[in-house]
């Protein structure tokens, strides 16, 4: 059985004539690439062709099966039409760069500029540079550290926040050049582990096992106090708050073990929407590019939501490949399609939202549960786990 197709692309230097081709319905990615390279031969050198590799989009989704199977999933009647197949240049997968070992579980990680911040169950916050050199281990908490947020990092001066099982949040100012902690402010008020932190300009929010969300200011205390009280408390969920994030300057999103996701107007301190998910939410992240919300769940699935919709079906997509809980997710800061996930199945996966059934790449190496992932810097993917390691992957 055959089908009529046209190849289209946004890659100007690798464009082909706008003609209709008749190809087998059974064509897969490798066969489509062979056809395409045949069309490119007159205009692209053999050396360039040998190094090039392409991915193919049909009906706005990456082709991961035969062309016929791909189209039938959407609309069988389209097999009688002329189908447009868009080709894009396939990028190289993330490459392992380094492994940074710690004395206990790595529960959270963040990168900013050339610095890497790591939270560990050894009760310390660890600072590394992106060359894999350990800068310092900072004691301050009395129990495992669970959450982190960078405020600032430049020229050896670092400001960041950490949350712990000891029910406190610490606001740190560390001067690497002088090798001293310039200030350490303790934020008290939660009655449970601080699971998650989210920074927004001069304020930040914290989510806790005590089911609440608290809002805190970052302004300097007039009396230079070493302690800080929250500005307000939201009795947010019926179970512990597992993950939070800012969707805008005045809107917060929260996920919980009570199987709901909630949107909060932080001007009125009111919940504006509640999404019932059916499974406990472990992690969430909002794309700075497309505004979509990606979430990891205890049922091993990843779900994509458009929380901006006031009516209609907010669940956009479901991604399945992990075999255990999805503990951590994070979007690329630059691509509208790419995100990473970490799971208790010991795997980190790189996803494209146009490919629901299979990730682009599996990032292997962990020997125990993956507890955290980070993609704050475009060319560096981090993952930490219960094997006490922080993995560094370069992405170009």
- pLDDT at 221 exceeding the cut of 60: no
**Cβ-count burial of 268 within 10 angstroms (0-12 exposed, 13-18 middle, 19+ buried)?**
exposed
Phi, psi at 121, each rounded to 5°: -70, -5
Mean pLDDT of 262-287: 96
pTM above 0.85, yes or no: yes
Contact 308, 287 (CB under 8 A): no
Mean pLDDT of 275-280: 95
Judging by DSSP bridges, how do beta strands 270-276 and 281-286 pair with one another? unpaired
Mean pLDDT of the chain: 94
SS3 224: coil
In percent, how much of the chain has pLDDT > 90? 89
Q: What is the pLDDT of residues 372-383, one digit of tens each?
A: 999 999 999 999
Mean pLDDT of 73-93: 90
Contact 328, 354 (CB under 8 A): no
Residues 6+ apart with CB under 8 A from 285: 245, 293, 294, 329, 330, 331, 339
Residue 113 CB coordination number (10 Å) = 15
Residues 6+ apart with CB under 8 A from 383: 109, 328, 340, 342, 348, 363, 366, 370, 372, 373, 374, 390, 391, 393
SS3 48: helix
- pLDDT at 312 exceeding the cut of 80: no
The CATH number of 2-89 is 3.10.20.90
Bridge partners for 126 per DSSP: 118, 137
Mean pLDDT of 20-43: 96
- pLDDT at 113 exceeding the cut of 80: yes
pLDDT band at 283 (very low <50, low <70, confident <90, very high): very high
- pLDDT at 219 exceeding the cut of 90: no
Mean pLDDT of 312-316: 80
Q: Between the CA of residue 100 and those of 62, 157, 367, 379, what are the distances in Å?
A: 35, 22, 14, 18
Mean pLDDT of 193-209: 97
- pLDDT at 371 exceeding the cut of 80: yes
Report d(CA 180, CA 226) in Å as an integer. Answer: 16
Cross-sheet strand order for the sheet of 281-286: 281-286, 293-297, 301-305, 315-320
- pLDDT at 233 exceeding the cut of 80: yes
pLDDT band at 4 (very low <50, low <70, confident <90, very high): very high
SS3 72: helix
The domain ranges of the chain are 2-89, 95-394
- pLDDT at 224 exceeding the cut of 70: no
- pLDDT at 309 exceeding the cut of 90: no
pLDDT, position 311: 67
Task: Report which of 158, 186, 144, 159 is spatially closest to residue 371, judged by C-alpha positions.
Answer: 144
Mean pLDDT of 60-75: 92
SS3 69: helix
- pLDDT at 75 exceeding the cut of 90: no
Report d(CA 358, CA 372) in Å as an integer. Answer: 21
- pLDDT at 79 exceeding the cut of 90: no
- pLDDT at 363 exceeding the cut of 60: yes
Task: Report which of 159, 144, 101 is spatially closest to residue 387, judged by C-alpha positions.
Answer: 101
Residue 92 CB coordination number (10 Å) = 10
Q: What is the pLDDT of residues 156-194, one digit of tens each?
A: 999 999 999 999 999 999 999 998 898 899 999 999 999
Residue 367 CB coordination number (10 Å) = 11
Mean pLDDT of 97-116: 97
Q: CATH number for 95-394: choose from 2.60.120.10, 2.130.10.10, 3.10.150.10, 1.10.3720.10.
A: 2.130.10.10
pLDDT band at 223 (very low <50, low <70, confident <90, very high): low
pLDDT, position 240: 98
230-239, 270-279, 310-319: least confident range: 310-319
Mean pLDDT of 226-230: 92
Contact 322, 302 (CB under 8 A): yes
Task: Report which of 285, 256, 122, 276 is spatially closest to residue 192, judged by C-alpha positions.
Answer: 256
For the chain, percent helix, then strand, then coil, each to nearest 5?
Answer: 10, 50, 40
Question: How many residues are recorded in the chain?
Answer: 396
């Amino acid at each position: 059985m055959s089908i009529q197709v046209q190849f289209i692309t946004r890659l100007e230097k690798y464009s082909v004539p706008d003609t209709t081709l008749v190809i087998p319905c059974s064509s897969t990615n490798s066969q489509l690439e062979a056809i395409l390279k045949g069309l490119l031969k007159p205009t692209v050198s053999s050396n360039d062709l040998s190094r090039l590799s392409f991915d193919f989009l049909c009906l706005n989704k990456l082709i991961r099966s035969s062309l016929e199977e791909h189209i039938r999933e959407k609309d069988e009647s389209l097999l009688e039409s002329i189908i447009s197949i868009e080709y894009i240049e396939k990028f190289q997968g993330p490459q392992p760069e380094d492994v940074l070992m710690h004395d206990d579980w790595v529960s959270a990680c963040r990168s900013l500029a050339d610095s890497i911040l790591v939270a560990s169950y050894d009760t310390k916050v660890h600072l590394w540079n992106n060359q894999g050199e350990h800068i310092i281990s900072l004691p301050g908490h009395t129990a495992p550290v669970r959450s982190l947020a960078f405020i600032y990092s430049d020229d050896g001066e670092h400001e960041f926040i950490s949350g712990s099982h000891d029910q406190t949040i610490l606001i740190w100012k560390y001067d690497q050049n002088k090798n001293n902690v310039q200030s350490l402010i303790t934020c008290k008020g939660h009655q449970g582990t601080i699971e998650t932190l989210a920074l927004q300009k001069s304020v930040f929010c914290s989510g806790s096992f005590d089911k609440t969300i608290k809002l805190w200011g970052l302004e300097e205390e007039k009396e230079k106090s070493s302690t800080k009280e929250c500005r307000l408390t939201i009795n947010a969920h019926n179970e512990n708050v597992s993950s939070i994030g800012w969707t805008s300057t005045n809107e917060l999103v929260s996920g919980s073990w009570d199987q709901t996701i909630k949107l909060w107007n932080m001007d009125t301190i009111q919940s504006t929407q509640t999404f019932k998910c059916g499974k406990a939410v472990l992690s969430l992240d909002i794309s700075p590019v497309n505004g979509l919300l990606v979430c990891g769940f205890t049922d091993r699935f990843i779900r994509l939501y458009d929380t901006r919709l006031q009516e209609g079906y907010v669940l956009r997509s479901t991604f399945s490949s992990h075999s255990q809980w999805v503990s951590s997710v994070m979007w690329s800061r630059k691509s509208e399609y790419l995100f990473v996930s970490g799971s208790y199945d010991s795997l980190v996966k790189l996803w494209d939202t146009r490919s629901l059934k299979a990730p682009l790449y599996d990032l292997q190496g962990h020997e125990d549960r993956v507890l955290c992932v980070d993609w704050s810097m475009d060319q560096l993917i981090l993952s930490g786990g219960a094997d006490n390691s922080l993995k560094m992957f370069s992405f170009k």
